[in-house]
Amino acid sequence: MKEGNKFGAHRVIEPTGVLPQPAKRIDNTMEIYDNEILIDVDTLNVDAASFTQIEEVEGGDVQKMARHSLDIIASRGKHHNPDTGSGGMLLGTVAAIGPKLKDRDLKVGDRIATLVSLSLTPLRVDEVISINKDTCQVKVKGQAILFETGIYAKMPADMDEALALAILDVAGAPAQAAKLCRPGQTVFIIGAGGKSGLLCAYEARNRVGVTGRVIGLVHGNAGKKRLEKTGFCDYIFQGSATDQLFVYEEVKKATGGEMADLTINCVDIPDTEMASVLATKDDGTVYFFSMATSFTSAALGAEGIGADTTMLIGNGYTKHHAEISLADVRQSPILMEIFKETYATGAGNAEPVNMKA
């Protein structure tokens, strides 16, 4: 059996000298190296920014969306959207484990979700079975490779798999919120009615305490109703995060001109960078969890208005993020109710595709 690089560099086809994530093309043959895990894949949880872009380009036609994804995989060896740069994650069953990884707490037949991006994961999809536009989950038949440094989570026995996958997809957001929120702060969450936003709102509510405030921006009516139902926010307003001055005026009104100590951006569309910066006080922090963020726009825009804010890249990984996100939902009956209604097996509208590669 061939020896592999622990970061997966042995899979890179072009360009040479880079790791799998930024690579334009990687080797997706499913013969494993000594330090790889082979997974029989049944579900792709496509990153929200990528899914939204594909849906918009293809006019919501699931047949065209399936072909779009298959074409990405065929050309790149991975589901790495060239327009958004993002991927997603997957759910599957362990099919084989390289000998170098035999000491792990993992065995053939275990159900796992990968906690690394599809934008770096060697992937082969033989068939797209269905697409659920409500959950961004795609049922497939295929296989994938997880590298030695690739992290994963065993599927919890006490939770529906589709529900757990949806939570794990955004696990980095609430875990980072748990680290960033402090007692007495004003925390502003953009996209507070979505799955990452709701989890961040829960963490913020618990951590800012009675002297702090949580403000939420939602776009649609469904998200507004979900957020209101939780009671996590002190102030909720509805509108577009791309309307920068509108967001600024609303946060200014909600804070008496003080603005937010911490802004968490969870939306999956571009052009929301300056709304985030404008809503945040000098010496405050903006956490961009969204993969639709342009960090050029954020940095140069902040410079252009003389905003002295700390801006954090939305790293999808932080220590114990899977455990934290799953615990949040287990501990909050209202979150569990909402997530079950929205993401559990049978939720949403899965449209049949049945398209061979």
Contact, 328 vs 199, CB < 8 A? yes
Whether 246 and 278 have beta carbons less than 8 Å apart is answered as no
3-state SS class at 144: strand
Q: Please, where in the chain does CATH 3.40.50.720 lie? A: 172-315
**Which residues are 350's β-sheet partners?**
132
Predicted local distance difference test score (pLDDT) of residue 317: 83
Q: Which residues of the chain have pLDDT under 50?
A: none
pTM, entire model: 0.91
> Residue for token digits 């791309």?
242
264 three-state secondary structure: strand
3-state secondary structure 156-198: CCCCCHHHHHHHHHCCHHHHHHHHHCCCCCEEEEECCCCHHHH
Tell which residue, 282, 314, 274, has the closest CA to residue 298. 274
Contact 239, 247 (CB under 8 A): yes
Q: Residue 57 has what pLDDT?
A: 97
- Round to whole Å and give the CA distance between 10 and 17: 10
Chain CA centroid to CA 337, Å: 21
- Side-chain-side CA neighbours of residue 194 (13 Å): 26
The DSSP element (H or E) to which 92 belongs, if any, is strand 88-97
Class of domain 172-315: alpha beta
pLDDT digits (tens, 9 = 90+) for 215-235: 999 999 999 999 999 999 999
Closest among 90, 97, 102, 79 to 28, alpha carbons compared: 79
